[in-house]
Amino acid sequence: MTETNIADESAAVDNPARRRLLAGLAVGAGTAALLAGTRKAVAADDFPKITSNGKKIKVGLGLNYGPFNQPWRRGCWQIAKTVQDMGCELVTVRGEPSKQSEQDSARQLLDRGIDVLILGIYSGESETAYIVDQANQKGIKTVGFMVNAKNSPAVLEDTWGTAAVMGNWIQNRLQRQGTIVQTAEDKGFYAPFDMEVDMLSLMTSYQPRMKMLPFMTGSVSTTDEISKGRDNCLSLLQANPDPNSLQLITSWWWPLTIGAVQALKQMNRTAIVTNHYFSDQFLQVMAAPDTPIEFSTDVPYHIAGDRVGQLAVALGQGQNVPNDSYFTPISFIEKSQAASMQGNLKSMDQQAIALLKQYGG
């Protein structure tokens, strides 16, 4: 397998030297914990070359993304495409974006004659250990998609590296002074958001001229997150009426970012906005001449999905696949790159919708 069809986004925004550095940050942060057991952390640039041995196998995947989960959908698209390209079959169950629903989907798939089950993205290793045990009893292999899974290989977001990229950009942009606030989906809903919020708060705490306001409550993926983000930000601005009381808003989830931009406009307030995760709608807002959005990071789920698909097929075919954690590259853009990135993303989203429609997605 090659990544020629999925690397457009990363090629447009990634600096290879910086990506290797960030991959090293991820390994440094994770290696001690991972090596305490049998799992090894693998940098984004070091994903192994995997080829099909021709054996036909079935891979199970829960399609639990919602309308706002466009990155997740792109990941599922690449899983489906990679499984197909490697001559194997994908079996799917449709659900909604919640831990309970994805666990329900996983359990249903165990009875669909699959050889490999893909687990993720909300439920962590301890929450799906019982599903892995049930799968093993049936002779089914497992792989983690953006989460670790018990005794299984996994492809993960470089969470700490992403937060470091965001934090360094913010500190340089503000010249290490000013007040910022963070928002994301509700705490406990998606662990990487909680980790990124904590990392940025820690980085800010070491800057004596910077202040981090209390976390601005977010939302969950089963709600109208743009409206929720707008309402949350309106409440914050009303509670802090001084125009100089807030210099920057960091939103770790794109619908909340759009809501925050709407609130700033409604209140006639100015603040720099930074974002995590790309979507077509978000990039359109970021590319607008009057937007306050200046910077965005992203997790290239299409790359992660391709790698998950390769691992799943290799496992099902009986190839030797160590139970390692493979980090995903970090993408990031500034305002001037938003329009070109939107074109790349639209193409991927159109392909994702067309392919996943065949699987009920």
291-314 pLDDT, tens per residue?
A: 999 999 999 999 999 999 999 999
Q: Report the mean per-residue pLDDT for the chain.
A: 90
The per-residue pLDDT for range 82-91, each reduced to its tens digit, is 999 999 999 9
Question: So what's the pLDDT on residue 222?
Answer: 77
Q: How far apart are CA 59 and CA 83, in angstroms?
A: 8
Mean pLDDT along residues 137-164:
97
How would residue 39 be classed by pLDDT, with cut points 50, 70 and 90?
confident
Q: What is the pTM of this model?
A: 0.88
Phi, psi (deg, nearest 5) at residue 42: -120, 125
Instruction: Indicate the pLDDT class of residue 6, thresholds 50, 70 and 90.
Output: very low
* Beta carbons of 170 and 269 less than 8 angstroms apart: no
Scanning 177-253, the segments in alpha helix (DSSP H) are 191-205, 225-239
Q: Residue 250 pLDDT more than 50? A: yes
Give the Cα separation of 38 and 47 in Å (integer): 18
pLDDT of residue 220: 85
The position carrying tokens 């036909």 is 56
Q: Which candidate, 189, 68, 217, 60, places its Cα nearest to that of 121?
A: 189
Name the 3-class secondary structure at 112.
Answer: coil
Q: How far apart are CA 307 and CA 292, in angstroms?
A: 35
Whether 145 contacts 75, CB under 8 Å? yes
Tell me the average pLDDT across 136-162.
97
Q: Does the pLDDT at position 8 exceed 70? A: no
- pLDDT, one tens digit per residue, over 309-348 is 999 999 999 999 999 999 999 999 999 999 999 999 999 9
Residues 338 and 287 sit within 8 Å (Cβ to Cβ)? yes
Domain spanning 8-157+300-359, CATH architecture: 3-Layer(aba) Sandwich (3.40)
Predicted local distance difference test score (pLDDT) of residue 22: 46
Amino acid, res. 262: Q
* Residue range(s) in the chain whose domain bears CATH number 3.40.50.2300: 8-157+300-359, 159-298
Residue 38: pLDDT band by 50, 70, 90 thresholds?
low
Contact call for residues 82 and 313 (beta carbons, < 8 A): yes
User: Does the pLDDT of residue 361 top 90, yes or no?
Assistant: no
More confident residue, 32 or 356: 356
Task: Quick: pLDDT tens for 166-184.
Answer: 999 999 999 999 999 999 9
Q: Mean pLDDT throughout 17-43? A: 53
What backbone phi and psi angles, to 5 degrees, belong to 338?
-65, -45
Query: Phi and psi (nearest 5°) for 302?
Result: -65, -35
Structural element, H or E, at residue 264: helix 254-266
Tell whether the model's pLDDT for residue 48 goes beyond 90: yes
**DSSP assignment letter at 121:** S
What confidence tens digit (pLDDT) does each residue in 279-290 have? Answer: 999 999 999 999
What's the rounded mean pLDDT across residues 189-196? 94
Fold classified for 159-298 = Rossmann fold (3.40.50)
* Contact call for residues 30 and 158 (beta carbons, < 8 A): no
Percentage of the chain lying above the pLDDT 90 cut: 85
What is the model's pLDDT at position 16? 38
Distance between CA 350 and CA 189 in Å, rounded? 28
CA atoms within 13 A on the CB side of 210: 22
Instruction: Tell me what percent of the residues of the chain surpass a pLDDT of 70.
Output: 89
Segments in 271-337 forming alpha helices (H): 280-287, 301-316
pLDDT at position 27: 45
Q: Which of 18-27, 42-51, 244-253 has the lowest mean pLDDT?
A: 18-27
Q: Please, which pLDDT band fits residue 186 given cuts at 50, 70 and 90?
A: very high
